[in-house]
Homo-oligomer: A and B are copies of this chain.
Amino acid sequence: MSQAMSDIAVTELQQMAASWESEYKQLISGNNVRLDLSRGKPAPEQLALSDSLDGILHGNFITPSGIDTRNYGNVLGIPEARALGAELMGVPANEVVAGGNSSLSLMHFVLGTAMHQGFWGDQRRWRNDPRPKLLTPVPGYDRHFALSESFGLEMINIPMTPAGPDMQRAAELAANDPSIKGIWCVPKYSNPTGNTYSQDIVDAMAVLPQQAASDDFVVLWDNAYAVHDLDEAGDILPCLREACLKVGTYDHVVQFASTSKITLASGGVGFIAVSENVLKVLEKHLSVFVIGPDKVNQLRHVKFLGGRLKEHMAAHAAIVRPKFERVLTKLRTELADLKVANWTEPKGGYFISLDVQPGLAKKVITLAGAAGLTLTPAGATFPYGKDPLDKNIRIAPTFAQEAELEQAMHILTLCIKLVSAQATLGQQKV
């Protein structure tokens, strides 16, 4: 079968659909699979790479810089952990906050500061605007959307291209609406498309705060997959800091990173990077509710990753790469010829973004769910859970074992073929 579905004769497609439907019915009658491709969670084998974190200190809790990590203090983190964050983000260590286990919590802090206190020690606060808004490249990261919504920030979709967000559209919107206060970015191996921003996009992003009508526009740069390459020759993300320093906008950028997908998803270290000016203001507001992060865990990370980050990430890649390949192979084998879906083939990160034919994503996800396969809810990669074309499905291949992955992708591709055939045939029933 090497025909596009739309070219297949009706009677033939009817036969194929009947066969897929019968296979699907058999699947759900068995009703004994419980598979999950919904969240970007590391597999136990990946987590085990960092098991030696616990006990790595051998009773020595003092940093090379002389800090007793067990006691209170050091709201910005220990210098050695700030240096680790600097390495991840490609910035100087004195621009880094090393925090607790969650960059998401740091993002919450940063949005709260933007809303209620401002970043610049002056009167600018997003809440001064009756309806502050953010630009959200789509498809994107659902937790960014939930966070923004919780602060009452209205979201405006910007289409993603393979090179990054549509910056012309972003600039037009920001220049004409002073209520637009910022833009969310996952610049490397973007969640969920896996795309990495090009030099042109990064340069355009650096200029955006100047083009914006609002004087408190901020680029929120969540570099969650900074070192998460599947192959040694991963994508290279151009340096936003450098681009901003050239045009004088560095006070309008907040970068985030985390070791959650480097060491332990639960017990890692999160980071913020900002200009020294903004850091002074952030430190003041952070000090209100943080006496210090878990410095013991920071020291563990420094000892564990020091000098061997690249090697450690290669060990992750050796586990993750075959899973990505299995998903992609299955997509190619089952769907390529039929031309009923498109997908990305990222060189790193945690996701593959799959677009089915418009209007079918929700049906596919529901059908797969009934067969025991949990996928990210339809629409989750869009603000307010609304995928305007109802076509995007996010695949998270990392957590499942390879045999499960094969089975899960079998269910997913079967559901896509069945739903696509039904749509093509103008049928509704399963």
Please list the residues of chain A having a beta carbon within 8 angstroms of any beta carbon in chain B: 39, 41-42, 44, 47, 50-51, 54-59, 61, 68-73, 100-102, 104-105, 107-108, 112, 143, 146-147, 150, 260, 264-267, 285, 288-297, 300
A267 with B47: CB separation less than 8 A: no
Residue of B nearest to A72 (CB): B265
**Which of B57, B72, B295 is within 8 Å of A39, CB to CB?**
B72
B69 with A285: CB separation less than 8 A: no
**Which of B54, B289, B291 is within 8 Å of A57, CB to CB?**
B54
**Which of B147, B291, B293, B296 is within 8 Å of A54, CB to CB?**
B296
By Cβ-Cβ distance, the 10 closest A-B pairs, closest first, are A55-B55, A108-B289, A267-B296, A47-B70, A101-B294, A72-B265, A150-B288, A70-B264, A266-B295, A267-B294
A54 with B51: CB separation less than 8 A: no
Q: CA separation between A292 and B105, bound complex, in Å?
A: 10
**Which of B72, B289, B294 is within 8 Å of A294, CB to CB?**
B294
B101 with A293: CB separation less than 8 A: yes
B289 with A266: CB separation less than 8 A: no
Could you pull out 23 A-B pairs where Cβ atoms are within 8 angstroms?
A39-B72, A41-B71, A44-B68, A51-B61, A54-B56, A54-B296, A69-B267, A70-B265, A71-B264, A73-B266, A100-B100, A100-B102, A101-B294, A104-B290, A143-B291, A264-B296, A265-B291, A265-B292, A266-B292, A267-B294, A267-B297, A294-B297, A297-B297
Q: CA separation between A41 and B260, bound complex, in Å?
A: 30
Given contacts A59-B51, A101-B100, contact A266 B293 (CB under 8 A): yes
Residues of B within 8 A of A57 (CB): 54-55
This chain: copies in complex = 2
Residues of B within 8 A of A107 (CB): 289
User: Closest approach, in angstroms, between the C-beta of A114 and any C-beta of chain B?
Assistant: 14
Residue of B nearest to A47 (CB): B70
Q: CA separation between A297 and B101, bound complex, in Å?
A: 11
User: Closest approach, in angstroms, between the C-beta of A111 and any C-beta of chain B?
Assistant: 9
| Most chain B Cβ neighbours within 10 Å, of A58, A100, A292 | A100
Q: CA separation between A285 and B42, bound complex, in Å?
A: 25
Residues of B within 8 A of A69 (CB): 266-267
Q: CA separation between A112 and B113, bound complex, in Å?
A: 12
Q: CA separation between A267 and B68, bound complex, in Å?
A: 11
**Which of B54, B266, B290 is within 8 Å of A72, CB to CB?**
B266
Residues of B within 8 A of A55 (CB): 54-55, 57-58
B265 with A41: CB separation less than 8 A: no
Residues of B within 8 A of A68 (CB): 44, 47
Residue of B nearest to A268 (CB): B294
| Most chain B Cβ neighbours within 10 Å, of A57, A285, A294 | A294
B61 with A289: CB separation less than 8 A: no
User: Closest approach, in angstroms, between the C-beta of A164 and any C-beta of chain B?
Assistant: 26
Q: CA separation between A50 and B68, bound complex, in Å?
A: 13
User: Closest approach, in angstroms, between the C-beta of A34 and any C-beta of chain B?
Assistant: 15
Q: A104-B290, A264-B296 are in contact. List 7 more A-B contacts (CB 8 A).
A: A47-B68, A54-B59, A55-B58, A150-B289, A267-B295, A267-B296, A294-B294
Residues of B within 8 A of A260 (CB): 72
A266 with B294: CB separation less than 8 A: yes
Given contacts A267-B295, A296-B264, contact A289 B105 (CB under 8 A): yes
Q: CA separation between A363 and B72, bound complex, in Å?
A: 28
User: Closest approach, in angstroms, between the C-beta of A214 and any C-beta of chain B?
Assistant: 22
